[in-house]
Structure 1
Amino acid sequence: MHTPDRFLERARQLEPTMRERLASYVAHETPTGDALALNRLAAVLGAHYTELGAEVTLVPSAAGDHLLATWGGEGSHVLVLGHHDTVWPIGQLATEMPYDDDGAIIKGPGVFDMKGGLVAFETAMRILRDCDASLGQPVRLVVTADEEIGTPTGRALVEGQLEGAVAAFGLEPPHPHGGLKTGRHGSTRVRLEVRGVEAHAALDPGRGVSAIDELVDQIVRIREVVAAEEHVLSNVGTIQGGSRTNVTAGRASADLGFRFGDADVEKRVLAHLAQLEPIRDRAQVNAEILTNRPAWAGSPSDALLDQVVAAGERIGQQVTGKHALGAADTNFAGSAGIPALDGFGPRGRGAHALHEEIIAESLVERAALLATLLAGGIEPTPAT
């Protein structure tokens, strides 16, 4: 009989292997948008999953190869979500963020978000294999190549695995002290584009219509809409336009980021953006949704979290959970009514920051927790 204590013991034995595997994944630098770099790591991941008994499919896209790895047959399954792209460019490892493992802390681009989570899951599956333990139900793992920009090409693959899922688990970083994420704000990226009329700014100012002035005023209006709502955050991420100081700007654009904690608020704000009207005669305004992850408010029941808490107790871990502001691929599952939890990656800090790091011992903790959870099986819980 294979007890959770045996899983924890095996996780500890595999800690050196986990460290080596994480170092090798970080050495494969995988910035979002670099399809060739992403494909190289996807091939490595796929080979490892095949070795662990999975049926692996590479799903090509313009962003790079996504992966679908399946353990077990048809029927109700547990969906696990990860990604292998990072925010860091090629060369970051050799310049500003050298990989470092001092025995307690592991630093480097992508260790926290989220190659450490990939290593923890992979090790959990190896623990089950090594301990000759069966899965509680089939497991499907989706690893997307463009999560860091909203999963525009990977979304269909994720959503295609939702039918029949009893639960969805995300391998993203946890809350600062290791708590799981029981819900997430929605995240929408919008490009606001404005056309004006070019003219000489001094000799013929009345003929011109400034796209930049129109853009600024539209942003002010959008801020007023956002201010009238609750549970929404907005940010002007980039702005550009115009050509010369003596030419009235004919074009301008801005990329806006929105975070929604409530699905109804999300609908109202996005509906407003779809109906924008120009303030100036002869100006043209268009708002294009680039990516959208729907708001996932979380379940009214703690039934799924309770199961994870119980699994943690069996190996001496105290598991907690609360809502998160950041969005991820689990939004697609949670907003569709699939019971979901995220944050199964190792503890650490510094996602998207130069001080990105994880606590090395938490690789063991997460691998043992995932192995215990997947071996015990997930009881169906009420849909959200």
Structure 2
Amino acid sequence: MMIERLREYVGAETPTGDAAALNAFADRLAARYTELGASVRRVPMPTGDHLVADFPGRAEAPLLFLAHHDTVWPIGQLDGAMPWRAADGIIHGPGVFDMKGGLVVLETALEQVAGRDHRPLRIIVVADEEVGSPSARDLVTAEAKGVYAAFGFEPPHPNGDLKTSRWGSTRVRVEVTGREAHAALDPDSGVSAIDELVDQLIAVRKIVAEHDNVLCNVGTVTGGGRTNVVPGSAAADIGFRFVDPATEESVLAAVKALQPVRDARLSVQVLSNRPAWQPSAATEALLAKVAAAGRSVGQQVGGAAASGAADTNLTGWLGIPTLDGLGPVGKGAHAVHEQVIAATLTERADLVAAIITSL
């Protein structure tokens, strides 16, 4: 049953920013959560609606579950480089690991606990997680108030361990406006936006080199149009990862203070930000309780820090006891070999059900 549902969910391709595809998938989730007894709200956004589902429970603080229904893959990936394939206990397909598998685990756990005693449950399913959840940050912050603990359904560590902290993640866009001119007849009257951007990216690398434990990836570069025209515009999107808030603040301050090298205009814009979620005694205490829940269903549960970012960064940063990685075990997030181990779908659902009924 879980594999069939996963195939259905993977078959509904949901790239970030495709509002029609995301909203159609949200319809499925909303209908299913309603069937299971939730009160469901849609939070409309131009790039796709977020969902909030509240399940009733005993008069205690709720558990918060964080998930997303967008993927990094475009429409057509399923019929091209990444067809659905299930063989030898391994399932392949776009989004199967990040994180349609996690959605199936959550839904199955909800089925298992239906009618049983537990805390209230609140589920947030975000539509733009893969680009840093820029439209969902305020929603997650508001809905997280007063919860007992937060859990994410992102993939776990390769050995199945949960994630107990995460590096911070910030996306920055550097835009340059130069001046166009004929590259041969009048080059001196032009100002190359591309040359300026290259110099600025070198400056960014120098800033990063001055700090420990910073990752920097220039993910996109655009600009110009013809080799016989001095380019008048150029831009780059940069992804930064930070181990602690102080390093993040220092690096971003230096990047925002960049100045043009030539007669060009420079703009630095923060596109999205997830603060560092650092280790805490509260999360370690939560992990101990989850490990006990795991033992009740015959599973050994461990935890470790993670370098990747997700919506749990925000709840962890807010001081809420938080764990992530409740999705199935697999590998290949954001890669064409994306896959999950089929047997861990059931194992993870059993674990989540035990967590719900024991906390």
Give CA deviations for 1:344-367 in whole Å, capped at 9, x if unaligned: 000011111111111111011111
Q: Among 278, 293, 297, which residue is 1:311 paired with?
A: 293
Match of 1:48 in 2: 32
Q: How far is the alpha carbon of 1:31 from its aligned partner?
A: 1.0
TM-score normalised by L of structure 2: 0.96
Q: How far is the alpha carbon of 1:198 from its aligned partner?
A: 2.2
Match of 1:117 in 2: 102
Q: How far is the alpha carbon of 1:242 from its aligned partner?
A: 2.0
Partner of 1:40: helix, strand, or coil?
helix
Name which of structure 1's ranges 170-179 and 246-255 shifts more when overlaid on structure 2: 246-255
Q: How far is the alpha carbon of 1:300 from its aligned partner?
A: 4.0
Equivalences for 1:171-190 in 2 at 5 Å? 171-190=153-172
Q: Among 64, 75, 81, which residue is 1:96 paired with?
A: 81
Unpaired runs of 5+ residues, structure 2, are none
Q: Among 145, 160, 163, which residue is 2:127 paired with?
A: 145
Match of 1:343 in 2: 325
In 1, Cα distance between the equivalents of 2:232 and 2:83? 44
1:289 equivalenced with 2:294 (yes/no): no
Match of 1:299 in 2: 280
Match of 1:228 in 2: 210
Match of 1:10 in 2: none
Q: Among 175, 188, 197, which residue is 1:206 paired with?
A: 188
State the 4+ residue runs in structure 1 displaced beyond 6 angstroms: none
Name which of structure 1's ranges 69-78 and 207-216 shifts more when overlaid on structure 2: 69-78
Match of 1:59 in 2: 43
In 2, Cα distance between the equivalents of 1:300 and 1:212? 48
1:158 equivalenced with 2:143 (yes/no): no
In 1, Cα distance between the equivalents of 2:203 and 2:340? 41
The one-letter code of the counterpart of 1:134 is D
Give CA deviations for 1:298-355 in whole Å, capped at 9, x if unaligned: 2145111111111111111111111111111111111111111100000011111111
The one-letter code of the counterpart of 1:42 is A
Unpaired runs of 5+ residues, structure 1, are 1-16, 378-384
Please say if residues 50 and 56 of structure 1, whose CA atoms lie closer than 8 Å, have aligned partners that are also in contact: yes
The one-letter code of the counterpart of 2:65 is V
The one-letter code of the counterpart of 2:4 is E
Please say if residues 144 and 154 of structure 1, whose CA atoms lie closer than 8 Å, have aligned partners that are also in contact: yes
Please say if residues 70 and 140 of structure 1, whose CA atoms lie closer than 8 Å, have aligned partners that are also in contact: yes
Please say if residues 147 and 328 of structure 1, whose CA atoms lie closer than 8 Å, have aligned partners that are also in contact: yes
In 2, Cα distance between the equivalents of 1:177 and 1:148? 23
Percent identical residues: 57
Match of 1:127 in 2: 112
1:261 equivalenced with 2:243 (yes/no): yes
The one-letter code of the counterpart of 1:161 is E
Partner of 1:206: helix, strand, or coil?
helix
Please say if residues 332 and 338 of structure 2, whose CA atoms lie closer than 8 Å, have aligned partners that are also in contact: yes
Equivalences for 1:330-369 in 2 at 5 Å? 330-369=312-351
The one-letter code of the counterpart of 2:67 is G
Name which of structure 1's ranges 152-161 and 60-69 shifts more when overlaid on structure 2: 152-161
Q: Among 15, 21, 26, which residue is 2:10 paired with?
A: 26
In 2, Cα distance between the equivalents of 1:317 and 1:49? 27
Q: How far is the alpha carbon of 1:240 from its aligned partner?
A: 1.8
Q: Among 62, 68, 80, which residue is 2:65 paired with?
A: 80
TM-score normalised by L of structure 1: 0.90
- Aligned Cα root-mean-square deviation (Å): 1.4
Partner of 2:143: helix, strand, or coil?
coil
In 2, Cα distance between the equivalents of 1:333 and 1:196? 41
Please say if residues 103 and 360 of structure 1, whose CA atoms lie closer than 8 Å, have aligned partners that are also in contact: no
Match of 1:70 in 2: 54
The one-letter code of the counterpart of 1:133 is R
